Amino acid sequence: MSTQSDLVLTIFTLNVWGIAFVSKDRSQRIEAIATALSSGRYDVVCLQEVWVVDDYEKIKHATRSVLPYSHYFYSGVTGSGLCIFSRWPIEDIMFHQWPVNGYVHKIFHGDWFGGKGVGLCHISTNGIHINIYTTHLHAQYDAHDDEYLAHRAVQAFDTAQFIRLTADGAHLSVLAGDLNTHPGNLCHQLIQHCAQLEDTFHKQPAENQTGTFDCSRNSYAVKSNVMKNPNGERIDYILYRAGLNAQVDVLEYSMPLQSRVPEQEFSYSDHEGIAATIRVTPQSPEISMPSCYIKDRGAIAATLKAGITTCADALNKLAHDKVWYLGVAGSLLVSLFSIPAFTEIPVTYSRTYQLTLVGTSGVIFFTMVMATIWNRMEYNGILGGQMRMQVVLDRVTDAYDTVDIEKTSMTTGSSNTLTQPFIES
């Protein structure tokens, strides 16, 4: 679907909700998704929550004639759940695993076991270079008490930095995936501002504001949530940025899947799939900085400050958690040594005492690990993210002087190339 000078491609993304033994109708839905993707409508497909590798293989086999190139990003215990399918050869692959990603003991949340991160596949066709990124940020399990906000903020910022630092050689860079954040929220702003991405959703008609999760058209949506907000939540995105030598235009944004799997009463997933058709037109290297690089410096700074504050709050909470865990461990240790020292255990209760001793020892071990090893790992992960945000904030704050110098150089005919990542017109 390309001409000699430009390329038109359609990108599709979907969180397939593929948790083994948990996700409803998984096998039937995976088959339906594979059938839909084998239609040849899409040039690039990004999937999330493909937790069962056999499901990836099924989709790969079904789409081999139209999407012959693919990659599954293995990571963590269960795999990252991320995979990319492409009509064109995948030339390079990279995966960045985030330093913080939930808690190992919260088994029912499960994010930690996936070793989540952001995946990159570099594609090239007819001399046009495309970077495709896919990711799935940590879920928000409680909107009123979001214990994972700092984790998600670090993930969002690291994703933005990963994109910004690897996108320079591409005519087009696209991030497609489940960001688990609403438009305008902190994590959304960190990604969009810091990576300088545009949202393909803006091509959608203004009257159509249907979200991608918990919306009325989805059979798995929570009825009480639909009653409050029939449009649901928009947490899945296709974001993009043009390269220095390309003109990029969004031609269409859509939800291409039907509300129900054909001849079934259920949807393809608990999320809605979205697609965007984009035209890439190569330009002369001498053109000016593309519009996606020109951002409001104040908005970027405000977003970074909010991220830094979120990290600071999390670090303070970690300090309190460490004291709490040590207090619990210390109290239990004192109890263990005090009971046999001051109380004679009747023979009839010796088995109960032994079981209590084992259970209490297990709790002491857990609290000590949480107060030391795990606390330090989480602290370092969030502190590192905070420090990286501060470096970028300092650079943004000082951007005016740099831009003034570069503008002067360009006016006087200097050959220096304008490459500052954060500027304003």
- Residues labelled catalytic: 271
In our burial notation (b when 16+ CB lie closer than 10 A, e otherwise), range 190-211 reads bbbbbbbbbbbbeebeeeeebb
What's the CA gap between 150 and 148, in Å, rounded?
6
What's the CA gap between 398 and 348, in Å, rounded?
74
According to DSSP, the residues that pair with 278 across neighbouring strands are 9, 250
Continuous segment of H or E residues that includes residue 134: strand 128-136
- Residue 403: partners with Cβ closer than 8 Å, 6 or more residues away: 420, 423, 424
In our burial notation (b when 16+ CB lie closer than 10 A, e otherwise), range 364-380 reads beebbebbeebbeebbe
For residues 135 and 118, the answer to whether their CB atoms sit within 8 Å is yes
What's the CA gap between 163 and 169, in Å, rounded?
11
What's the CA gap between 416 and 418, in Å, rounded?
7
